[in-house]
A and B are shown apart, each in its own frame.
Chain A
Amino acid sequence: MPKDAQTAQDTLLDIRDLSVEFRTPRGRVKALRNVSFEVPRRRIVGVVGESGSGKSTVLWAILGLLSGNARVSSGRIDFEGRDMLRMSEDELRAARGEEVSVVFQDPMTSQIPVLSYARQMRDILYRREKMSDREKRRRGIGMLERVGIPDPESRLDQFPHQFSGGMRQRAGIAMALLTEPKLLLADEPTTALDVTMEAQIIHLLQELQAEFEATVVVVSHNLGLIAELCDDVVVMYAGEVVETGDVHDIFHDPQHPYTRALLECDPARLPERSAKLPVIPGDIPDLTRRLGGCIFADRCPRVMEVCRTDTPPDQPTASGVARCHLVGGPHADPDWPPPLDVLTVRTGEGGPRRAAPDQHAAPVLEVEELNVRFRTAGALPALVRRIEDPFVDAVLDVSLGVRQGETVGLVGESGSGKTTLGRAVLKLVEAQAGSVRFEGQEIRTLPEARFKPLRRDMAMMFQDPVGSLSPRKSVRALITEPLQIHGVRGVDFDAEAERLAGLVRLPKAFLSRYPHELSGGQARRVGVARALALNPRLIIADEPTAGLDVSVQGEILNLMAELQAEHGLGYLVITHNLPVVRHIADRLAIMYLGRIVEQGDAEEIFAQPAHPYTEALVRGVPQPDPDRRRTHVSISGEVPSLMNRPKGCDFVARCPYAQERCRIEKPEHRVQPDGRVHACHFPLR
């Protein structure tokens, strides 16, 4: 992606024709095929792709840390003119951590729990023999301070579990920059973080890149992150680079149909609430087969005869290349690409359009002043340690309602108590006070024996689609498991399994498969089928799209919307994903530290948030548009621990508008004329 001659000469990393294969029991998976791109010095290059695109394989290949069953079948990775694929193990190790360093995806698991940061940092600096331990320590402190960790002197001697999630990722960045590497690789650096933290980390990476004049390669599936952070973009699909270019060109004038489709599927880009979300039909091709023609042909909306037979060459574009017949050569289409407001992908499978829910429909679920408290210390230790109140309020005075055919989005960051609330409604955790009414009947105080028949009418879709399925049961058994649990008789289970599979559009062949043989989207469908098995009237969906690719999540959401229209289901959707919830929810409830801080009509909340926290969440989502980069981060810090809930407003420590009154007095829930409820002394509207 040379911008001009000057930068072209100044290439730090040059990947040419890189092909990697994995030996697996299913055969050789050709995970990367002839991947080529350049990384110019002092630029941030984003490698974007969905799962199975090979973006992580590229990153590990650069480090020479591919897994044992991988083989590099061709290509070269030139780093400052030296081919890293032909370096000896010792030379490679000398470069790792010293010239090339990494920021990892999940700071919870990528830092060793039993060694302090001081020790981990000293180990990273082991090659600096001239440096004394004291100097290494000083550098560690300086770097922790630089990434924004308060009180670095004492924090250096702490262990990863003593840091909060955001702090850990900051420490991870500090460790990566400790040796001042020439090339910094970042593997999904914000995926494991909350929205407000994500914005801070993006900002920090930008600042540090400028300060250290580092060259950065960011690998991510998150278009918002790429648009916000990167200068150049490499789009990967199924092990191939399909398009490269300048970030503005990629986001404003994408040439490859896949890039185009990917952008169209991102819910953050859809300007208004839409009934149907766009999807790319189909799955990525089986990479064990011999592949001919264009890799995207099977799913491409503009596929031509030639695409199935001839592999398209890399066609030059304004600032890079695109591997597509439409863009150049004899099959080029002068009308491609169409203007950005024309959708090139379908908006999911057909079905009735979702009607606005009836304002007077009967409420399915009514939650009033619900409280869930968790014990933090046993009775005796609390007495010994003089803890006056050994409880935390995981859910505090929550009132919420879901009507028939209505979708209510329950939004919050980790630790906001949203999942606990969902579980308390289903009596999976005990609530201490308040009331939960299901179709008018009080269920919180109902004994389990009398609640069980009601449970058939309420279903849960769990967060982890594969983890919540027993690995030893076939899909058929899993789908009908709820029927068995509730002792349903006189039903043909096989017929029922087929009916449910049909409902969620899972091909019949999948009924005899096992969970590990399913893709993320398919496992989700099984989860939906299980939730529907007993014809419930309320479904509580915990992060229904977590872990799904952008091109697939639309399918699940469209499916949920269709089922709702058909069966009049009430949905309580628990999520941290604002762009998604915006398109499916009729009403929103924003939770912070166990309390609902704002509640009301979804669209109005997005247009005009009343609570500063809502505003921060809405603004916090990185936009997949490089022209809408933020120049500052609206709120700082992280969600505090429930153990030290502030005396006044829960949000006071992070609120940009906080005043004296907020520190002293907890704001009550106030209902505005239009039905909006908020808990803020100084609402924004």
Chain B
Amino acid sequence: MAFYLAKRLGLSAAVILLVVLVLFSLLYLIPGDPATIALGPRATPEAVARYAEKMHLDEPVWAQFLIYVGNALTGDLGVDVFSDRPVAEIIGERLGFTLALVSAGLGWAVLLGVPLGCLAAVRPNTVFDRITGVLSVGTIAVPSFLVSIWALLIFAVGLGWLPAIGAGEPGDLGDQISHLILPAFAIGLSWVGYLARMVRASMLEVMGENYIRSARAFGLRPNKVVFGYALRVAILPTITLIGMGFGGLISSTVFAEIIFARPGLGKMIFDAVMARNFPIVQGGVLVATGLYIVVVLISDLVIAWLDPRVRESL
């Protein structure tokens, strides 16, 4: 177990280093002088020189890379080109909003999708199964930005039940939650479909296993057999999917964040790319990657906790 953790952490570090390298070379892959690119064509030579010095652009490339890695290790991701504020601080402000959105979006999808998949698998080829099947594929097929716009138009503009944009007043939990509902609905909807399909498929497989028949032969209650035995095994591949989904959503919530004008990591990166604010892009992507790796690691550990066979092979 300790060896497994060490191995995984070592691999994670390697992946992050690789990402840093890619992000770093981004600056040099774009034709032209990084300072001019960052500040735009109209920057004065003095500004360019000041920027170059501040960003250590006069040093050799490998030294710049080492400086960047060294700084990142101490939590210093550089400073914003425009506001001169530390990137880490800016990310810190946005990260909470993104995590809240992703958790809420994926959370309701899990709470709805997993039981739907279970029930569909217990009654295969019934009307209920067919309806959830069609709805699942439907929700997967509709792009989430469309869902966002429709949700906005119907519930915020048309009915006026929920606020349309922003993230709510800081400190006012109720207000923040009401602002969270529509975007969470929008990003979670397709995941309901995904999860329902996934759980149904693995449940169907597990329900045909001999040990499920054994559980029935020992007279266990149907609910116990389905949720205590079958789901316990069938959920394992779904946990990996949830982990990867959570990691992926951190950076792909950008649609929902733009449409609902929420502050967040995705929107921050998007804005920074548009403004060629490279320190923010680098820092944002780095943090998103790091989170992704952490979440996937956590999901693997959860699987190990649930499955003794995996636990032992660690």
* Closest Cβ neighbor of B206 among chain A residues: A112
A111 at the interface (CB under 8 A from B): yes
Flag the segment in A101-109, A286-294, A298-306, A307-315 that touches B.
A101-109
Interface positions of B from 189 to 220, Cβ below 8 Å from A: 209-220
Q: How far is the CA of A101 from the CA of B215 in the complex (A)?
A: 11
CB of B233 within 8 Å of the partner chain: yes
Q: Tell which of A65, A102, A109, A123 touches B224, judged by Cβ atoms closer than 8 Å.
A: A123
Q: Is A94 an interface residue (CB 8 A)?
A: yes
- Asked, given contacts A123-B224, A123-B228, whether A111 binds B218 with beta carbons under 8 Å apart, the answer is no
**Dominant secondary structure at the A interface:** loop
**A383, chain B: closest CB distance, angstroms:** 10
Q: Indicate if the CB atoms of B217 and A102 lie closer than 8 Å.
A: yes
* Residue from the list A111, A113, A116, A384 in contact with B309, Cβ < 8 A: A113
B308 contact from A65, A110, A124, A159, Cβ within 8 A: A159
Inter-chain contacts of A116 with B (CB < 8 A): 308
A102-152 contacts to B (CB < 8 Å): 102, 104, 106, 109-116, 123-124, 126-127
Q: Hey, what's the 0/1 contact readout for A78-112 against B, CB within 8 Å counting as 1?
A: 00000000000000011111100110101001111
Interface size class of A (residues with CB under 8 A): 20 to 34
* Cα of A114 to Cα of B309 in the assembled complex, Å: 8
User: Which chain B positions have C-beta within 8 A of A102?
Assistant: 214, 217-218
Are A97 and B309 in touch, CB under 8 angstroms? no
Given known A-B contacts A96-B216, A102-B214, A385-B3, A115 and B221 have beta carbons under 8 A apart: no
Query: Does A63 count as interface, using CB distance less than 8 angstroms?
Result: yes
**Does more than half of chain B's interface fall in helix, strand or loop, or is it mixed?**
helix
B3–A94 touching, CB < 8 Å: no
Which of B209, B210, B219, B306 has the most C-beta atoms of chain A within 10 angstroms of its own C-beta?
B219
Is B232 in contact with chain A by the CB < 8 A criterion?
yes
Bound state CA distance, A127 and B221, in angstroms? 10
Q: Name B211's contact: one of A63, A101, A109, A162 (CB within 8 Å).
A: A109
What is the CB-to-nearest-CB distance from B18 to chain A, in angstroms, rounded to a whole number? 21
B211 touches A111 (CB 8 A): yes
Q: Would you call A114 and B307 a contact (CB within 8 A)?
A: yes
With both beta carbons as reference points, the residue of chain B lying nearest to A159 in the complex is identified as B308
Cross-chain contact B218 with A124 (CB below 8 angstroms): yes
Which single residue of chain B is at the shortest CB-CB distance from A113?
A: B309
- Asked if A110 and B213 sit within 8 Å, CB to CB, the answer is yes
Q: Does A161 contact B (CB under 8 A)?
A: yes
Let me know if B229 is at the binding interface, CB within 8 A. yes
Nearest to B220 among chain A residues (CB) is A123
Contact, CB under 8 Å: B216 / A65? yes
In angstroms, how far is the closest chain A Cβ from the Cβ of B309?
5
Q: How many Å from the CB of B177 to the closest CB on chain A?
A: 36
Q: Mark each residue of chain B from 1 to 29: 1 if its CB lies under 8 Å from any CB of chain A, else 0.
A: 00100000000000000000000000000
A110 to B3, CA, bound (A): 32
Name, among B210, B212, B224, B312, the residue most crowded by chain A CB atoms within 10 Å (CB to CB): B210
Q: Which residue of A lies closest to B229 (CB)?
A: A112
A106-B217 contact, Cβ under 8 Å, with A112-B229, A114-B307, A384-B3: no
* A298 CB → nearest B CB, Å: 33
- A93 partner, pick from B211, B214, B219, beta carbons under 8 A: B219
List 6 A-B residue pairs with CB atoms under 8 Å apart, sorted by A's residue number.
A93-B219, A97-B217, A104-B210, A113-B308, A126-B220, A175-B218
Report which A residues bind B (CB closer than 8 A).
Answer: 63, 65, 93-98, 101-102, 104, 106, 109-116, 123-124, 126-127, 159, 161-162, 175, 381, 384-385
Seen from chain B, the residues whose Cβ lies within 8 Å of a Cβ on chain A are 3, 209-221, 224, 228-229, 232-233, 306-309, 312
Instruction: For the A-B complex with A112-B229, A114-B307, A115-B229 known, give 15 more contacts whose Cβ atoms are closer than 8 Å.
Output: A65-B213, A93-B221, A98-B219, A102-B217, A102-B218, A104-B217, A109-B209, A112-B211, A113-B308, A116-B308, A123-B218, A123-B220, A124-B220, A126-B221, A161-B309
